[in-house]
Amino acid sequence: MSWFFDSAKSRMPKPDEILPGRPAEMPVPDRHAVLGTPLKPPYPEGMQIAEFGMGCFWGAEKLFWQLPGVYSTAVGYSGGFTPNPTYEEVCTGRTGHIETVRVVFDPSKTTYGALLRAFWEEHDPTQGMRQGGDHGTQYRSAILTHSDEQQREAEASRAPFQERLTAARMGTITTDIGPAGDFFYAEAYHQQYLLKNPNGYCPNHATGVTLPADFFKSTGSAKTVEDAAKAIRQAG
């Protein structure tokens, strides 16, 4: 978390500012401290992966590990340039990375739409390079997709949620939506941090804006953002 505003950390680094990183991966525990499942691949056949950035990854990870159908979660760094960065390096703003949560889920027990609902409703996606009091590129809102289907569903959900935010007189969504690149695991002490530190930093940045209960059922077959916006107008 970042308590002091630094404008240099709230813009993507220039090429000559990017930190070099290292080839070695960050060592992490074999098992999830809450779910008892593997933190790293290989995962059981049929599991799918989703990744989200929604501010400080401690609280975001706890949100997702509590959802039905989630097999495993882990926190890490995505969307930047520095290979295998440390937390301290990410905090400089010179890696370009986002604090992200990797969610491994069982599609026979939950849906990608259920994860998207949690993402949109449990943080403020309008704040640019920050989330609440945390400022910097690492705190930007992002959906990092692992398939064309995820990409379509994420994009289809954006405009309707914006409609709800606008109706609530809130700002414009700044969430990045795009294909996932490399996911670099964060240090072991960050994994399931709020289990180990139950009184740890865990702000709630939810806007209070929600989607209709049947929204993702309606958008499951939506092919375009326009179709999804029509679906939510009919549902609301």
- 56 classed as catalytic: yes
Q: Do 87 and 127 contact (CB within 8 A), yes or no?
A: no
In the predicted model, is pLDDT for residue 217 greater than 80? no
- pLDDT the model gives residue 227: 53
CATH number at residue 167: 3.30.1060.10
- Report pLDDT digits (tens) over 39-82: 999 999 999 999 999 999 999 999 999 999 999 999 999 999 99
Say how many C-beta atoms besides its own lie within 10 A of residue 151's C-beta: 17
d(CA 21, CA 184): 11
In-domain check, residue 230: no
Q: Given a cut of 50, is residue 221 above it in pLDDT? A: no
- % the chain with pLDDT above 90: 83
Range of the domain at 53: 7-210
What span, in angstroms and rounded, lies between the C-alpha atoms of 100 and 210? 22
Between CA 164 and CA 153 the distance in angstroms is 17
224 falls within a domain = no
Identify the helix (H) or strand (E) that includes residue 231: helix 225-235
Given 56, 103, 154, 211, which residue is catalytic? 56
Please give the pLDDT value at position 10: 86
Whether 161 maps to a domain, the answer reads yes
Say how many domains are in the chain: 1
> Rounded distance, CA 137 to CA 58, Å?
16
Asked if residue 130 belongs to a domain, the reply is yes
Total count of residues recorded for the chain:
236
Q: Is residue 232 part of a domain?
A: no
Work out the pLDDT band at 222, boundaries 50, 70, 90: very low
Residue 218 lies inside a defined structural domain of this protein? no
Write the pLDDT tens digit of every residue in 88-133. Answer: 999 999 999 999 999 999 999 999 999 999 999 999 999 999 999 9
pTM of the model as a whole: 0.90
